[in-house]
């Protein structure tokens, strides 16, 4: 420190804290050798408290106001220093300003899920997060337990401590409430207030802190459980599953009919869905008891072309492919009745289509 700064600190004695931050809990006034003169001006603004500390011992405390420091308003420090008739020379003392206003927009959350036994789902893992505000109510307790000799103390420095206290209290609250996971959202306000009161009991006396606000924003189940609940809710919205399946089949049949490139596969799919719908309609209420049986499904033929399977196709489509030359006697075919890939010329019901009807040539003269 330069000579000018030294002289300025010795000649000018105004002790104040102009707080331009939003999350500072305490700040120590910087003084050259911590020397304070008789009659020095102490300015304590609204939302602040000034605490004098002499050689590690808490002394006088000042609420908001403007003070001229004398032995009259420093009774504790005067006793410690042994001032019977006042003081003339500067004395050494540390001055801490503690903020007593609310520090808002603080957040908490569960780093790991809370394991609980739910009446509906059994053992479940819950995550939660929310917001809270904090302010100092006992500056001396705060200095003793948390600040110590720190010259600048931020709310973030105790965020981990506060989060641990909140999460522990939340686990106790949820475990004792026995409320089902699906009913938690309806109790956020009540749980928030109960949680706030529990947290205050743990931080008020020990750390001199108050929690004016504490809110539970969300309590959530694991992602896979939420997906299962969404599926369950969707099924409940659908209602009659038979009618829903009939609607889906009708939509698929319409899409297949509008697909000109589907070929035999699209036709076979349409026929299959048609028979499935017929079966559902027969088994539907009001149709039961009728003796009419649905027609058997068409044969599902598959042909091997270029090492790949094509199909399914019915009898008429296969015959058309034989007549068009796409299927020869050597082409391998398969159907559920055959069970194995077999050359088409060796299948009894197909071999007749490959028999030659042209007479043999006349003998040569």
Instruction: Establish if 360 belongs to a structural domain.
Output: no
Q: What is the pLDDT of residue 253?
A: 60
Shared domain check, 337 and 270:
no
Tell me how far apart the alpha carbons of residues 155 and 145 are, in angstroms, rounded to a whole number: 14
Tell me how far apart the alpha carbons of residues 71 and 78 are, in angstroms, rounded to a whole number: 6
Tell me how far apart the alpha carbons of residues 332 and 345 are, in angstroms, rounded to a whole number: 9
What average pLDDT does range 293-312 have in this prediction?
A: 73
pLDDT at residue 354 greater than cutoff 60:
yes
Instruction: Establish if 363 belongs to a structural domain.
Output: no
pLDDT-based confidence at residue 97 (cuts at 50, 70, 90): very high
- Can you tell me whether residue 338 is helix, strand or coil? coil
Instruction: Establish if 83 belongs to a structural domain.
Output: yes
Tell me how far apart the alpha carbons of residues 106 and 349 are, in angstroms, rounded to a whole number: 81
178 backbone φψ class: left, alpha, beta (φ>0; ψ -120 to 50)? left
263-283 helix and 241-257 helix, angle to the nearest 10 degrees: 160
Q: What are phi and psi of 114, to 5 degrees?
A: -95, 125
Distances (CA, A) of 239 to 160, 244, 278: 48, 8, 21
Bridge partners, residue 215, by sequence: 131
Shared domain check, 208 and 156:
yes
Tell me how far apart the alpha carbons of residues 194 and 327 are, in angstroms, rounded to a whole number: 79
Instruction: Establish if 173 belongs to a structural domain.
Output: yes
pLDDT-based confidence at residue 312 (cuts at 50, 70, 90): confident
Instruction: Establish if 37 belongs to a structural domain.
Output: yes
pLDDT-based confidence at residue 286 (cuts at 50, 70, 90): low
* pLDDT tens digits, one per residue of 190-222: 999 999 999 999 999 899 999 999 999 999 888
Tell me how far apart the alpha carbons of residues 158 and 207 are, in angstroms, rounded to a whole number: 11
Strand 48-54 relative to strand 94-99: parallel, antiparallel, unpaired? antiparallel
Instruction: Establish if 358 belongs to a structural domain.
Output: no
Of 30 and 217, the one with more pLDDT: 217
Q: In what order do the strands lie in the sheet with 48-54?
A: 57-62, 48-54, 94-99, 24-28, 152-154
Question: Is-above-0.75 flag for pTM?
Answer: no
pLDDT-based confidence at residue 228 (cuts at 50, 70, 90): confident
Q: What is the pLDDT of residue 85?
A: 46
Tell me how far apart the alpha carbons of residues 212 and 222 are, in angstroms, rounded to a whole number: 31
What average pLDDT does range 332-351 have in this prediction?
A: 86
Looking at the structure of the chain, the number of domains it has is 4
Q: What is the pLDDT of residue 241?
A: 58
Shared domain check, 84 and 20:
yes
Residue range of the domain that includes 336: 298-350
């Amino acid at each position: 420190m330069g000579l000018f700064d030294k002289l300025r600190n010795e000649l000018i004695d105004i002790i104040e804290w102009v707080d331009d931050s939003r999350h500072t809990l305490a700040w120590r006034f910087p003084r050259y050798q911590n020397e304070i003169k008789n009659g020095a001006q102490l300015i304590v603004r609204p939302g602040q408290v000034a605490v004098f500390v002499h050689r590690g011992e808490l002394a006088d405390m000042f609420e908001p106001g403007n003070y001229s420091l004398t032995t009259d308003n420093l009774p504790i420090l005067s006793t410690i220093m042994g001032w019977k008739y006042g003081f003339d020379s500067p004395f050494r003392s540390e001055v801490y300003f503690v903020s007593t206003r609310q520090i808002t927009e603080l957040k908490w959350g569960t780093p790991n899920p809370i394991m609980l036994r739910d009446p509906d789902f059994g053992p479940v893992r819950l995550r939660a997060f929310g917001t809270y505000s904090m302010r100092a109510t006992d500056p001396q307790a705060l200095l003793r337990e948390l600040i110590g000799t720190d010259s600048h103390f931020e709310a973030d420095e105790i965020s981990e401590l506060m989060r641990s206290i909140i999460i522990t209290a939340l686990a106790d609250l949820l475990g004792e409430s026995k409320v089902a996971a699906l009913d938690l959202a309806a109790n956020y306000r009540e749980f928030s207030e109960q949680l706030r009161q529990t947290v205050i009991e743990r931080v008020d006396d020990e750390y001199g802190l108050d929690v004016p606000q504490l809110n539970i924003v969300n309590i959530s189940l694991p992602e896979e459980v939420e997906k299962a609940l969404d599926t369950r809710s969707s099924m409940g919205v659908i209602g009659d599953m038979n009618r829903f399946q009939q609607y889906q089949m009708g939509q698929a049949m319409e899409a297949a009919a509008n697909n000109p490139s589907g070929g035999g596969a699209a036709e076979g799919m349409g026929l299959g869905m048609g028979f499935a719908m017929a079966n559902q309609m027969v088994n539907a209420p009001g149709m039961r008891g009728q003796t009419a049986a649905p027609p058997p499904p068409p044969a599902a033929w598959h042909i091997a072309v270029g090492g790949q399977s094509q199909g399914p196709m019915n009898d008429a489509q296969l015959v058309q492919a034989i007549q068009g030359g796409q299927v020869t006697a050597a082409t391998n075919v398969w159907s559920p009745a055959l069970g194995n890939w077999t050359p088409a010329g060796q299948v009894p019901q197909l071999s007749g289509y490959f028999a030659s009807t042209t007479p043999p040539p006349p003998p040569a003269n």
